[in-house]
Structure 1
Amino acid sequence: MGELPIDINIQEPRWDQSTFLGRARHFFTVTDPRNLLLSGTQLEASRNIVQNYRGEGGPDWPHVSPGAHEHDHHRLHAHLLQAGPVLKTPTVVFWQWVNQSFNAVVNYSNRSGDAPITIEQLGTAYVSATTGAVATALGLKSLTKHLPTLVGRFVPFAAVAAANCINIPLMRQRELQVGIPVTDEEGQRLGHSVTAAKQGIFQVVVSRICMAIPAMAIPPLIMDTLEKKDFLKHRPWLGAPLQVGLVGFCLVFATPLCCALFPQRSSIHVSRLEPELRAQIHEQSPSTEVVYYNKGL
């Protein structure tokens, strides 16, 4: 094996992140399920290569690989799909709580910005996010008691979509309070913006909802059809693994494609920023018209 060339920037993805295709290729690599088959030794060796090549610590912003919620989400989504029309309220509460607790960890780990957050603030955000999301799921479930079974199968998706609108902003509320760093094109920090934080969180919410559509909309349709067939009627034990497989298959494609909907390094025009920050940027860098920020994941 030859040595790595010295002009590789390993802080940046291999593909052009200004295009959807480039972002999709990057996230397909990051969320590849085959990564789960790598041994601890292989992972440690890769980590050492990166650290030695970089010659320093980790990246500037907190970031957890989106693969962390790809290979676990397919199991959680399968439980939620079953919980919709079949299981009783305590079971629905349990699985929604598990799912939203998992989402809370992912949302916090993949936040943007570097503002400190206290344990009390984090605990309040977690309780608010999970409670609000679970209450939303139960409310939607109660509205579908007298509707057809097929409609009931889509309640988990509606609950997950609504919960994302609650969980993500609450777990990232610190960004909405103090803002996130914005930089010029060269990466020079120019200040903190709440407006940029709002835009970034909105983009993440849209991505997460879109990510859930295939995994929570397609399997219910397929399962509703299969459950009417004699093959599955005579083999009811196949229902759960089949549903898990369908959800997992959908997420293998939905996760990277939806993560790629918006650039990780997003931009916003200076004219849309807060007046104080806008004036500060015009004073520091009069020629800057667009600033950049990490939207989180």
Structure 2
Amino acid sequence: MANPKWPGQKTAELPLDINIRDPRWDQNTFVGRARHFFTVTNPLNLLLSDKELYDAQTIVKNYKAGIVTPGLTEDELWKAKYKYDSAFHPDTDQKIYLIGRMSAQAPMNMILCGCMLTFHKSIVSVMFWQWVNQSFNAIVNYSNRNGNVTATERQLGVAYMSATTGAVATALGLKALTGHLPSLVGRFIPLTAVCAANCINIPLMREREIQMGVPVTDDTGHKLGYSSRAAQKGIFQVVISRITMAFPSLTIPPLIMNELEKKDFLKKRPWLSATVQVGLIGILQVIATPLCCALFPQRSSILVKNLEPELRAQIKEKSPNTEVVYFNKGL
């Protein structure tokens, strides 16, 4: 049993052996990853002031350097780490634009999905909201890329134009093909367009990672080289996560709203339809965002035997016992 603290007694200093380089919960399990991402993607993180974020950054960086803030408890250290993780890029340590943070996913997608589902009948509305949605996705994809690979402004501009054009073209093509079908079918155009657009937007915005490769490390974090195959695997996992993330918000509300709009309550109050729909999407996004981010570990891995022959040979020469390498797949 621990000794009771008496008035004036000094609190023991926090030990320096807490591993805050990694998440608090076991990332080898889905539950551990989900708990981690429920903390990182919490929309309340957006309310943190710059001072709070920079104070959290100072606490975490000082602790990593062996300096403990006086009076700091372990819970306070972890809270500071998650404030820091929610706003700063893990590779570059730069503060991410507000709407590029994963904590902005739920509120932003609540608005965008609500608008895409509400204004799906007009061609102009479809074009506008798909463009806005893919512009937002481009910011998120760039903000959460592997930060060790840089791209020029021209490359980013080409990727952005290609991604948004592809998304809008997909949505318009689907609208033309389904125009004669029941209205319920039209409600699912945004989902199909978003899924197709993610397959275009994410790889294009992160094209440099495929071209140049991303850093791969051994289990201790020692860099062993750059791999395009690792980048491809990471981007594929992110595409799956984003499509899965969009699925509940763009499938469940249309089904519910299709039934509710037949009822007298909403027939008499049509202005409530958009509010109800956005509310449903918000609830689903708050749940789906962390769960879908948790589908794959952020610190992803790949077998050495699956790497490029040149890199494989290089690793075998430098570290012959290494069979698995690790990399940041992004979000």
The bucket for the TM-score relative to the shorter chain is over 0.9
CA drift of 1:3 comes to 5.5
> Where does residue 255 of structure 1 map in the other structure?
289
> Where does residue 154 of structure 2 map in the other structure?
120
Q: Residue type of the partner of 1:18?
A: N
CA drift of 1:39 comes to 4.7
Q: Residue type of the partner of 1:167?
A: N
Task: Tell me whether 1:102 sits opposite 2:112 in the alignment.
Answer: no
> Where does residue 78 of structure 1 map in the other structure?
114
> Where does residue 169 of structure 1 map in the other structure?
203
Alpha-carbon separation, structure 1, partners of 2:37 and 2:102: 8
Choose 49-58 or 161-170, whichever is displaced more. Answer: 49-58
Match of 1:203 among 237, 241, 248: 237
Q: Is the 8 A contact 2:89 2:144 kept in 1?
A: no
Change (3 A) 1:189 1:119: same
Q: Residue type of the partner of 1:46?
A: A
Change (3 A) 1:42 1:282: closer
Alpha-carbon separation, structure 2, partners of 1:287 and 1:99: 46
Alpha-carbon separation, structure 1, partners of 2:189 and 2:13: 53
- Residue segments in structure 1 that go unaligned for 5+ positions in a row: none
Q: Is the 8 A contact 1:62 1:110 kept in 2?
A: no
Alpha-carbon separation, structure 2, partners of 1:24 and 1:62: 24
Deviations 1:134-166 (A, max 9, x none): 111111121110111111111100000000000
> Where does residue 26 of structure 1 map in the other structure?
36
Q: Which has the larger radius of gyration?
A: 2
Q: Residue type of the partner of 2:56?
A: S
Alpha-carbon separation, structure 1, partners of 2:170 and 2:328: 29
CA drift of 1:6 comes to 2.2
Change (3 A) 1:119 1:34: closer
Alpha-carbon separation, structure 1, partners of 2:253 and 2:13: 46
> Where does residue 225 of structure 2 map in the other structure?
191
Alpha-carbon separation, structure 2, partners of 1:45 and 1:13: 19
> Where does residue 62 of structure 2 map in the other structure?
52
- The 5 Å alignment of 1:1-297 reads 4-39=14-49, 41-55=51-65, 61-62=91-92, 64=96, 65-84=101-120, 86=121, 88-297=122-331
Q: Is the 8 A contact 1:104 1:126 kept in 2?
A: yes
Q: Is the 8 A contact 1:197 1:295 kept in 2?
A: yes
Alpha-carbon separation, structure 2, partners of 1:169 and 1:10: 31
CA drift of 1:45 comes to 3.7
Q: 3-state DSSP class of the match of 1:111?
A: coil
Q: 3-state DSSP class of the match of 1:134?
A: helix
Q: Residue type of the partner of 2:160?
A: Y
Alpha-carbon separation, structure 1, partners of 2:12 and 2:139: 40
Q: Is the 8 A contact 1:113 1:179 kept in 2?
A: no
Q: Is the 8 A contact 1:62 1:109 kept in 2?
A: no
Q: 3-state DSSP class of the match of 2:225?
A: strand
Alpha-carbon separation, structure 2, partners of 1:8 and 1:122: 39
- Residue segments in structure 2 that go unaligned for 5+ positions in a row: 1-10, 67-83
Deviations 1:190-249 (A, max 9, x none): 111111111110000000000001111000011001000001111111111111100000
Change (3 A) 1:97 1:283: same
Choose 65-74 or 30-39, whichever is displaced more. Answer: 30-39
Choose 165-174 or 39-48, whichever is displaced more. Answer: 39-48
Change (3 A) 1:178 1:42: closer
TM-score, with structure 2 as normaliser:
0.84
Q: 3-state DSSP class of the match of 2:278?
A: helix
CA drift of 1:10 comes to 2.5
